[in-house]
Structure 1
Amino acid sequence: MKTTKRKMTLWLLAWPIFIEQFLQFLLGAADTLMVSRISDDAVAVVGFSNQLFFALQTLFMTIASGAGILIAQKLGSKKREEARVLGIMAVSVSAAIGLLLSVILYWKPVEIAQLLNMPENLLPLAEVYISIVGGGMILSALMAALGTAIRNTGNTKGPMYTAIGMNVIHIVLNYAFIYGAFGFPQWGLTGVAISTLVSRLLASIFLYWLFIQSFDQRIKLRDFKIFDRKLFKEILHIGWPLGVNSSCWVFTQLIIFTFIAMLGSKELATRTYMNTLESFCFLLGFSIALAVQIQIAHLFGAGRTKEAYQGAYRALLIGLGLVTVNAFLVFVMGKRILGLFTSDQEIITIAGSLLLLNLLLQPGKMLNMALGNALNAVGDTKFPMWTAIFSMWLIATLLSYYLGVEWGYGLVGIYVCMIADEYVRGLLALWRWRERKYLKRAEAEQQAGVLPTNGAVAFE
């Protein structure tokens, strides 16, 4: 597969990403549903542990995300060997970080759970789940690096097919180990952990097979010794602000959940159900945002700055239309859908007011995602980082505590702060994109003969 000849239309990039993300969402929902058949304690352990794993993933996603943007830029500017080296380094460094995390999580699961204040009665289950799934964190690191590299060559279908296979295998193995089906032993939560590990291992093998043939020159095992300091500095230059940005989101969300827990179990359950409903709006917009990041990075690398600039607005308009329609459908049908999950009328009533606020939330998210990813695509990653530090911590977190908890507005108050955070970051990203700072710099370098004036990738 020769990456530089692949068409980079927004639709061709976006639809496989959407299916991949949607399947990941279904995997989480199916996991929760199946684990609930074991016990409520098992569900609590899985949910808590997954929050921990997600937080730790920001360590290697920093490298993978930075390398992914650079791969797209280098391919756009016809620097194909540099793109290949970036992919190799992203995989090897991410794997090293993942291996270190695997060792720590495997050997110290109880100590880590205690450090995070997990209830004593859950520690035996946590020891099993964290040691097995956390012990395979290297597989998560490999999947992140391999998938990101492949996706940024323009091949978004490969990771999608991988996600389909991984989901099917994981659900089948979950069923087998939880219920003792197909002659398998009934291993409960241990079986769920093993199922997760096996499905990720098989997914990593398939992604590796795709990765080694994703560039003009096939990648061999000995190539993983390659380490280019100059290119790695470029990864860190783009990647560390992305890591800070992601960390801000992960940790502020954890803190906001503790605020909601202060309000009561009904509010916490309502927020959990609303997360599920919001995902139907969020995933499609998120897929458009990821696709436009890949497209703009290629265009930027090819020196086609005007097309890159306009491409962000085109994706934004498409995304706004899609998420607004989805949010309206959720608003109209939300209470009926919630009735499938719970019969508690208090929860359904609380959610009713949030469904209206979701109509305001989703366009703000789309504005933030589309233009934030456009800035990332051209290497302007520090600006979104600083806006995230300011807005996520002061508006989404601190203000939500006062409005939601101290001043008694509850979940509605917290949602209002979440909406304000999205629009503040989105409007700041819009202002920054309209400045065209990095695009103007690239145009000046292009006129000076430093950058190419055309690329080898077809765009629409």
Structure 2
Amino acid sequence: MKYSLLRSYLSKEKVPKIRKELIKLALPAMGENVLQMLYGMADTAFLGHYSWKSMSGVGLANQIFWVIQVVLIAASMGATVTIANALGARNKKALRAIAWNGIFLALFTGVALTVLTFFSEALISIFPNLEGEIENAAKSYLKIILAGSFGFSIMAVFSAMLRGLGDTKTPMIVTGATNFLNIFLDYAMIFGKFGFPEWGVKGAAVATILSRFFGAAILFFIVFRREEFHLGEGFEPPRWSVQREILRVGFPTAVENLVFSVGVLVFANILLIAGAEAYAGHRIGINVESLSFMPAFGISIAITTLAGRYNGMGSKEQLLGVVRQGWILSLLFQVTVGIIIFLFPEPLIRIFTSDPQIVGIAKLPVKIIGLFQLFLATEFSMNGALRGTGNTLPPMVITFISIWSVRLPIAYIMVRFFNLGLLGAWIGMIADIIFRSTLKLLFFLSGKWERRALITRNRVKELS
């Protein structure tokens, strides 16, 4: 292997500085991501106490929403990476051009997703085995969420632009404010409190889009005032050359998310073979998993930002030091989280439901999550390293191979032929996590990412 995570690459004096930079970026990113997850989890938690079938329907609708926002993910990741590299290269003209074209991509994405409102019922029909109440909840929620896509697209891309500058605190604060609004409106509109009508699933969706538009308005104001982007110097028309570079970097990550999300939809259909209760337990397990990897996700964002900045500077030793220190921090966080989850699963489960049957079913996946945090930490660290250097294609290929040749075949065989239900499905899921994280680690250690890192650095320098 060309590189090793056991080697420091940094002087003893630089190690504390790099760790401080990582933590400074990671902590707000963790906070923001926890708050982002609370958007969907607030809906899930309130609806879990309102009706577990409504909760399951909303879970399915959210899975479909994540599948269809491919361009949004492309614009967000591309903006973060190109802005970080441009900042490292000290290319002020590139920063302004990327900012304007990131705004255009956010607006375009909002329009494209809103149009899909007219196809929401057809999208839900990909699940053939749904009970009536679950199906109706999914259709109602997805239609309203798609209608409010502008709020989602502006918040996602503008937050990504700020993260590219190394500002992870502002997106966290804005997300926190919008999340408090969402929780209040969720409670009021789902259960009919404070003079609001009892709208159930519809109330959860309306609360989410109203709070997103509130956050989008705040971020719009903040981005236009940032000196680094120089947006106040006048309007700059859309330029395909700049948008192409943003999408070139971001699109493989979008396709990776698409591949993963489609795989999750197929995985959901496999679980529905085992019954609606098994799927409800799985959804709670997934929500706990999403909470569990927040530290690793935050550190991954920090690695992406710093790796992009040091790649723009052409400082390979600093870049390698960032990756190693980020990986170590991620391991420390995730192993600690894993122990807590394994030993105390029930309090986490009861956040989402008080139904005794679903609580009992959900304990299995939650405990399994606790045992495999090491691999989640490694995968997130490698994602940050590869994306920051513009190497977004290899993770996409690895995810495709892993989902479709490991997770889904194993899960189907275990559920269909061995009748292992939820356990069988999660055996496939854990095999996928181990396989995927190992391949990404081996690719980074091989040094094959360096060629694309050089191309990314040179192309950003040429933007003006």
Residues of 2 paired with 1:337 and 1:356: CA distance? 11
CA offset digits 1:331-360 (Å, max 9, x no partner): 111246546745647963x65554554344
Contact 1:73 1:301 in 2 (8 A): yes
Output the amino acid matched with 1:71: I
Aligned counterpart for 1:206 among listed residues 203, 206, 218:
218
2:431 to 408, 416, 420: 420
Counterpart for residue 134 of structure 1: 146
Deviates further, 233-242 or 187-196: 187-196
Higher mean alpha-carbon deviation, 228-237 vs 432-441, is at 432-441
Partner of 2:80: 68
CA displacement at 1:40 relative to structure 2: 4.8
Report 1:377-392 matches (<5 A): 377-392=388-403
Q: Does 1:375 align with 2:375?
A: no
Task: Please state how far the C-alpha of 1:104 moved relative to its aligned partner.
Answer: 3.0
The structure 2 residue matched to 1:151, chosen from 158, 163, 173, is 163
Counterpart Cα distance in 2 of 1:275 and 1:333: 16
Q: Closer, same or farther in 2 for the Cα pair 1:441/1:131, shift >3 Å?
A: closer
Q: 101, 107, 121: which one pairs with 1:95?
A: 107
Q: C-alpha displacement at 1:38, in angstroms?
A: 5.1
Separation of aligned partners in 1, 2:52 and 2:363: 26
TM-superposed CA distance for 1:187, in Å, is: 4.2
Cα separation, 2, equivalents of 1:137 and 1:110: 17
Is the CA contact 2:85–2:460 (under 8 Å) kept in the aligned structure 1? no
Letter in 2 for 1:306: E
Q: Is the Cα–Cα contact under 8 Å of residues 71 and 84 in structure 1 kept in the other structure?
A: no
DSSP 3-state at the match of 2:177: helix
Task: Identify which of 396, 401, 415 aligns with 2:412.
Answer: 401
Aligned twin of 1:17: 29
Amino acid at match of 1:278: E
Q: CA deviation at 1:114?
A: 4.1
CA–CA separation in structure 2 for the residues paired with 1:289 and 1:234: 22
Residue identity over aligned pairs, in percent, reads 24
- Larger RCO (CA under 8 A, 6+ residues apart): 2
Gapped runs of 5+ residues in structure 1?
1-6, 453-460
1:313 partnered with 2:343 = no
CA contact (8 A) 2:299 2:326 kept: yes
Q: Which amino acid aligns with 1:12?
A: K
SS in 1 for 2:390: coil
* Structure 2 SS opposite 1:167: helix
What secondary structure is seen at the aligned counterpart in 2 of 1:212?
helix
Out of 35, 51, 61, the residue aligned to residue 49 of structure 1 is 61
Tell whether 2:345 aligns with 1:334: yes
The answer for the alignment partner of 1:432 in structure 2 is 443
1:343-391 deviation digits (Å, cap 9, x = unpaired): 647963x655545543442111111111122011111111111111111
Q: For the residues of structure 2 that align with 1:351 and 1:127, how far apart are their CA atoms?
A: 25
TM-superposition CA deviations, 1:162-218 (whole Å, max 9, x none): 111111111222233344444444444443333222211110011111211234353
Q: Does 1:293 align with 2:282?
A: no
Verify: 1:28 aligned to 2:40, yes or no: yes
Cα 1:265/1:309, change in 2 over 3 Å: same
* TM-score (structure 1 length as normaliser): 0.86
- Quick one: which amino acid aligns to residue 207 of structure 1? L
Distance in structure 2 (CA, Å) of the matches to 1:276 and 1:93: 30
Number of residue pairs matched by the alignment: 441
Counterparts in 2 of 1:424 and 1:412: CA distance versus 1, 3 Å: same
Judged with a 3 Å threshold, the aligned counterparts in structure 2 of structure 1 residues 358 and 194 are, in CA distance, closer, same or farther, namely: closer
Seen in structure 2, the aligned counterparts of structure 1 residues 241 and 99 have a Cα distance that, compared at 3 Å, is same
What code does the residue aligned with 1:76 have?
Answer: G
After superposition, what is the alpha-carbon deviation per residue over 1:1-52, rounded to whole angstroms, capped at 9, x for unaligned? xxxxxx9810110111111111222332322233356545543443332222
**Residue identity matched to 1:317:** I
Distance of 2:336 and 2:45 partners within structure 1:
28
Task: Tell me the distance in 2 between the aligned counterparts of 1:432 and 1:265.
Answer: 39
C-alpha separation in 1, matches of 2:191 and 2:269? 34
Equivalent position SS for 1:430: helix
CA displacement at 1:135 relative to structure 2: 0.9
Residue pair 1:400, 1:413 contacting (<8 A) in 2 also? yes
Aligned residues: CA RMSD: 3.1
Matched position secondary structure for 2:344: helix
Per-residue CA deviation, residues 255-297 of structure 1 (Å, 9 max, x unaligned), is 1122122123443233223223323421111111111111111
Letter in 1 for 2:331: L
Q: From the superposition, tell whether residues 33 and 450 of structure 1 become closer, same or farther in structure 2 (CA, over 3 Å).
A: closer
Question: CA offset at residue 58 of structure 1?
Answer: 2.1
